[in-house]
Structure 1
Amino acid sequence: MAQLDTLDLVVLAVLLVGTVAYFTKGTYWAKPADPFAGSLAHTNGAKAGKSRNIIEKMDEQGKNCVVFYGSQTGTAEDYASRLAKEGASRFGLKTMVADLEDYDYDNLDSFPDDKVAIFVLATYGEGEPTDNAVEFHEFITSEDSSFSEGGSAADKPLGNLRYVAFGLGNNTYEHYNSMVRSVDAALQKLGAKRIGTAGEGDDGAGTMEEDFLAWKEPMWAALTESMHLEEREAVYEPVFEVSEKLDMNAETDEVYLGEPNKHHLEGAQKGPFNAHNPYIAPIAESKELFTAGERNCLHMEVDISGSGLSYQTGDHIAVWPTNPGKEVDRFLRVLGLDKKRDTVISVKGIDPTAKVPFPSPTTYDAAVRYHMEICAPVSRQFVHSLAQFAPDEATKAELTKMGTDKDYFSDKVASLNLNIAQLLETQSKGQAWSSIPFSIMIEGLHKIQPRYYSISSSSLVQKDKISITAVVESIEKPGAPHVVKGVTTNYLLALKQKQHGVADPDPHGLNYALTGPRNKYDGIHVPVHVRHSNFKLPSDPSKPVIMVGPGTGVAPFRGFVQERAALARAGEKVGKTVLFFGCRRRDEDFLYKDEWEEYKKDLGDAFELHVAFSREGPNKVYVQHKIQEQGENIDKLLQQKAYFYVCGDAAHMAREVNNLLGQIIAKQRGMPETKGEDIVKSMRASNQYQEDVWS
């Protein structure tokens, strides 16, 4: 028998690996767990070595209800947690919350008919699934998906699956709540049976919370009937056990003082840097863009050299905020924890499937300062749940009324922009709510989320520096006891002031911890990661582009124009580049005024800038007016296949520009307005019309 040489052995090994992979259907090559999942103290889902089979997980933990979530900013995850908690406390369901990306979906055909799945699904951007729901959406809507028991989509393999669905959307986007609608349709096509109606919340109208509350009561009624449940009096049962470690020193190396994961705790910056693992980036430079003293607009250059991070022109940078010390102090004081702020606590899920939202052990101060969204508007449902812990009967009655009366809540809480600590402080007249368990605050408040900003630089021009352009938010409402200060933009303002040697870098007295946990942010640093976007220049620079960006909506277009100017300098043929920008006054907030003149030198007649000054004349002039004036030229460029971009406020400006463009096309081409609208829709579908908007 001939001896096997090295090549033969390699070939045989490859064949063996391929054979095992085929017959195990990838069991040993399952999607790898997030390398930072353990250090982030995630205790649910599929960690390395754990099953990705949701039915096995439910059986193992004795669950009969799973609440899946597809979430981008944390709101859908919060609603999923609230549904799971309410299902357990009011109806005796054995619930668990599950991140869609932690499980496989081909075994949903073996989902038992005595269990129920709830899907809470946010729609992201232009009708897209959230990052953690991409694979689920592709699988469930595909005609080619195959299931574990051999059935195809045509066989209606999900006949046993009973489900509930709620969507989070924004009516200012064309594809309103498309995620929940497409998943609902796909599940029914596969034979699954929906319980109750598919709910839809509208962030664009500002009614998300009330839409959710209005939907869930009839949903619970339908689910109770379907699963033969019995409602009982809901009594608070903690999801998390919070224990004080009086024998531990907060300064020891094992206690998290705001670090997002174990690598940061150990003092090492290790990539990849992403939504679970920020890069602590130096701010290379910063400056004020507004010339009027009462408002601030920041320009910052964030240095990412050596981090392994990269970006493309049009992407977003995520800034990880820190809560202002002023609100941290208020929160701890109102709970009677101000003298225990540095006490070490351990947080564990009482149920093995519960997901602890921050690393542990930590301290009260660190959890509140770095991980809990304490400055967010208050949820009516959460207010109602806190009534039982009121310091006296009169306060209990008041909170109960707020929690059950929609209009009363709007008048007394929502309209005043109160956060939870401000509300509790007001209601108890400064008396501490010392009977509120810290666990209910962990459960009831969102995990603090990164804030995303359109990158205002070109990766072609400055690949190692990311520019941020941001107005510092400050909202004052008549009659409101507090001015709302944007958490992240005021944090950035304080960093900028410190960089410029201002004696008091925190002009609003918010008292940010600028040096980070354990003073590790030496110099001027900020935690960031990059999120890739589909908001992109055409690959062919000779294509014309039309950009609409009033205010800081101009941010990505600074990057676009910067890039096209650089290409022109390099001898590339660059097409017509038209920018519509709007601000109040040319001597007050005309962003990058001098830069546009420099880009004009490179681009020549290919660059046109049309500026609307809303406060300079007897009548207010907005970008919409300037677009209308240029209607004929815009239509000519569109017929040359120009790309059309809009960035800024979704609720008003972006919607009006969308409608206006349809009218311009119809007028210039002598066709009915509905035909112009259809052309704009077609442009959107082909990516010729792109938006980067916010509500």
Structure 2
Amino acid sequence: MAQLDTLDVVVLVALLLGTVAYFTKGTYWAVHNDPYGNSLAQANGIRTGKSRNIIEKMEESGKNCVVFYGSQTGTAEDYASRLAKEGQSRFGLKTMVADLEDYDYENLDTFPEDKVAFFILATYGEGEPTDNAVDFYEFINGEEVSFSESTDENPLNNLKYVAFGLGNNTYEHYNSMVRNVNAALEKLGATRIGTAGEGDDGAGTMEEDFLAWKEPMWVALSSAMGLEEREAVYEPVFDVVEEPDMDPNEDTVYLGEPNKNHLEGTSKGPYNAHNPYVAPIAESKEIFTAKDRNCLHMEIDISSSNLSYTTGDHVAVWPTNAGKEVDRFLSAVGLDSKRHMVISVKGLDPTAKVPFPSPTTYDAVVRYHMEICAPISRQFLASLAPFAPTEEIKAEMAKLGDDKDYFQENVTNRNLNIAQLLQTMSKGQAWSKVPFSMFIEGLHKIQPRYYSISSSSHVQKDKVSITAVVESIERPGAPYVVKGVTTNYLLALKQKQHGDPDPDPHGLNYALSGPRNKYDGVHVPVHIRHSNFKLPSDPSKPIIMVGPGTGVAPFRGFVQERAALAREGHKVGKTLLFFGCRRKSEDFLYQSEWEQYKKDLGDSFDLKVAFSRDGPQKVYVQDKMKEVASEIDELLKQKAYFYVCGDAANMARDVNSLLGDIISQQRGIPASKGEEIVKAMRASNQYQEDVWS
């Protein structure tokens, strides 16, 4: 009998191991042997074997300060890293940075009194938590929050915390994430140190808001925890070791691949924010006729990926830095001759997370992983000053870091990225004293860019459409034109597909074939992000859409879907679209398509177009809305869904205000009542926005 029991156990263990291997597709072992396997684990929806107990993690690593972040685009993560580094170098805190989705929160009631937690929280969309903060947010705001030990009314009375939010004042729920979390923590008995800071991306003051908040915060924290400031000396977070004996073409060296499966050429799903699908571009074309501006329409084939989308979702494009800017950066920091040198990068602390796989090369890091073209942080400039080539340049860098007006005049207003600034400051002399680890720590990790999908999943489930204006930003007197990283990358892909002898008219020379030239033909790395921006489930419901410029993108998908449903015999409600552009002859997007949809939908479809530069007076979508105010109000009485897509700072805010005015005027009620009705529409999802700043 004992033998049989042992055999049973052996068989059960074998079955268990087989089951694990099947469902994880071998990723458990890949994760534990791959130096960058964590991204693969997250891509496949599994966790590494690390503890999810933050108290335990802090104790075992000797930390007394944890900086949590909730980040969608990487800015909150960057601020968290900067605060952790500053806390350590200036005040001797033993800090660690923590992704909110990597830990559980039931044991926050056991948080030691002599430690402190920071919460750096971005607000996403209409007052929502970022993807990595959803679980934390729902837990901390639960009706009956259950902690591991405490049953007190104030279970978090030991928790001291610091809070900073990243928001945009053009959204109704400005900085609601940090406000709501702060309120929840206080309700549970936690003690906030300093004010809860708020940065405003809508006003373009995020960086200055952050810098203005953190200095008094450090004073308050020093007082609360008995910290003493010391002279800040650069202490690297990462160890960068050159490997001159390694061949960069070895199959163990990452040359831009995001994880081990991509490196080995066995990339498989699920594809998501940690694991892109390298998708073929089925079709691409220019849809502006203006000579000085480009707008791209692209059809991206996802048929072989198991990716799916629904009308209104977003497609994320994983960009690559332009070769021109990669060359400039490597030259500026004295690494041009070493660009293909293999380097191994590891954290000098067990809690430090290297933001890309290693071993790799300087070129691969700068090309595929660093946001080298982003606006410069004033704080980062100040940290570079001690490594300047000369004392004169050192003094100038320190002044730029200390004086926000001087920085605005000499950096921001001149459209300079980091390499352009360094070369300008040193007149071409290389900044070879700056440790490369400093750039890894100080520059954002390059992030996917999100575009509203401009097609209907009902009509073309295997292809997603992108509609994107190619960005080119000039400022009077600025020596450089800012070229949008991703849209110019897409432009170069379009020109390659069409056999243009000069794939990039700006000389930006993107690596269009991808790492190791693995992107045969014309491909782009993507994933899908699901959105709450959706058509009503009942197609007979009326809808009103406002989308000037490329804000019309999701509405092309909406109308495309409704036209298909009408052809199939479904009853389709009134479909009213307000579109705006400069001139009918230059940028009237999808003009012929709207004519076809009109034939399909008949009187159900109505398009109102505002041309801002075709007449003696500028006409905008708001003007067209005023012309049919009574029809808009009548449709709203029929419970029409109202959608806005486009620029948040001006258009979306104006449309929101105008809608309240239309309702109040048409119904003869006070303006405040009209505003309340619009707010109620928002709360019930009858009013939806897909906007950007």
Could you state the TM-score of these two structures normalised by the residue count of structure 1?
Answer: 0.94
Output one character per residue of 1:428-478: Cα deviation in whole Å (capped at 9) or x when no partner.
000001101100000000000000000000000000000000000001111
Output one character per residue of 1:388-422: Cα deviation in whole Å (capped at 9) or x when no partner.
01111111111100000010000000111211000
- Counterpart of 1:113, as a letter, is E
Match runs of 1:285-304 below 5 Å: 285-304=283-302
1:412 — aligned with what?
410
1:130 aligns with 2:126: no
SS in 2 for 1:300: strand
Match runs of 1:286-685 below 5 Å: 286-685=284-683
Q: Deviation of residue 155 (structure 1)?
A: 1.8
Q: Deviation of residue 145 (structure 1)?
A: 1.9
SS in 2 for 1:587: helix
Q: Deviation of residue 144 (structure 1)?
A: 1.8
Output one character per residue of 1:645-686: Cα deviation in whole Å (capped at 9) or x when no partner.
000000000000000000000000000111100000000000
- Counterpart of 1:97, as a letter, is V
2:186 — aligned with what?
188
Distance in 1 (alpha carbons) for counterparts of 2:31 and 2:592: 44
SS in 2 for 1:155: coil
Q: Deviation of residue 251 (structure 1)?
A: 0.2
Q: Deviation of residue 40 (structure 1)?
A: 3.4
- Any conservation in 1 of the 2:30–2:37 contact (CA below 8 Å)? no
- Any conservation in 1 of the 2:31–2:48 contact (CA below 8 Å)? no
Distance in 1 (alpha carbons) for counterparts of 2:509 and 2:391: 35
Q: Deviation of residue 36 (structure 1)?
A: 6.7
SS in 1 for 2:585: coil
Output one character per residue of 1:222-256: Cα deviation in whole Å (capped at 9) or x when no partner.
00000001000001000000000011000000000
- Counterpart of 1:102, as a letter, is D
> How has the CA–CA distance of structure 1 residues 669 and 33 changed in structure 2, closer, same or farther, with 3 Å as cutoff?
farther
Q: Deviation of residue 292 (structure 1)?
A: 1.4
Q: Deviation of residue 216 (structure 1)?
A: 0.3
- Any conservation in 1 of the 2:70–2:99 contact (CA below 8 Å)? yes
1:220 — aligned with what?
218
- Any conservation in 2 of the 1:36–1:276 contact (CA below 8 Å)? no
- Any conservation in 2 of the 1:168–1:202 contact (CA below 8 Å)? yes
Match runs of 1:124-273 below 5 Å: 124-151=124-151, 155-273=153-271
Distance in 2 (alpha carbons) for counterparts of 1:181 and 1:57: 27
- Any conservation in 1 of the 2:168–2:175 contact (CA below 8 Å)? yes
Q: Deviation of residue 35 (structure 1)?
A: 8.5
SS in 2 for 1:436: coil
Distance in 1 (alpha carbons) for counterparts of 2:330 and 2:578: 47
- Any conservation in 1 of the 2:109–2:150 contact (CA below 8 Å)? no
Output one character per residue of 1:276-324: Cα deviation in whole Å (capped at 9) or x when no partner.
0000000000000001121100000000002010000000000000000
1:72 — aligned with what?
72
Output one character per residue of 1:48-98: Cα deviation in whole Å (capped at 9) or x when no partner.
222110000000000000000000000000000000000000000000000
Count of matched residue positions in the alignment of Structure 1 and Structure 2: 666
- Counterpart of 1:124, as a letter, is Y
- Counterpart of 2:230, as a letter, is R
SS in 1 for 2:633: helix
Gaps of 5+ in 1: 1-8, 18-31
Equivalent residue for 2:36, pick from 35, 40, 53: 40
Distance in 2 (alpha carbons) for counterparts of 1:335 and 1:655: 43
Q: Deviation of residue 150 (structure 1)?
A: 4.7
Report sequence identity in percent: 78
After the TM superposition, which parts of structure 1 deviate over 3 Å for at least 4 consecutive aligned residues? 32-47
Distance in 1 (alpha carbons) for counterparts of 2:571 and 2:601: 10
Distance in 2 (alpha carbons) for counterparts of 1:255 and 1:605: 60
- Any conservation in 2 of the 1:457–1:562 contact (CA below 8 Å)? yes
SS in 1 for 2:570: coil
- Any conservation in 1 of the 2:415–2:479 contact (CA below 8 Å)? no
Distance in 2 (alpha carbons) for counterparts of 1:619 and 1:50: 63
> How has the CA–CA distance of structure 1 residues 34 and 283 changed in structure 2, closer, same or farther, with 3 Å as cutoff?
farther
SS in 2 for 1:58: helix
SS in 1 for 2:587: coil
Distance in 2 (alpha carbons) for counterparts of 1:329 and 1:125: 36
> How has the CA–CA distance of structure 1 residues 35 and 675 changed in structure 2, closer, same or farther, with 3 Å as cutoff?
farther
- Counterpart of 2:339, as a letter, is R
Distance in 1 (alpha carbons) for counterparts of 2:363 and 2:387: 22
Distance in 1 (alpha carbons) for counterparts of 2:427 and 2:319: 30
Distance in 2 (alpha carbons) for counterparts of 1:150 and 1:90: 35
Gaps of 5+ in 2: 1-7, 17-26
Distance in 2 (alpha carbons) for counterparts of 1:283 and 1:167: 38
2:95 — aligned with what?
95
CA RMSD of superposed structures (Å): 1.8
SS in 2 for 1:345: strand
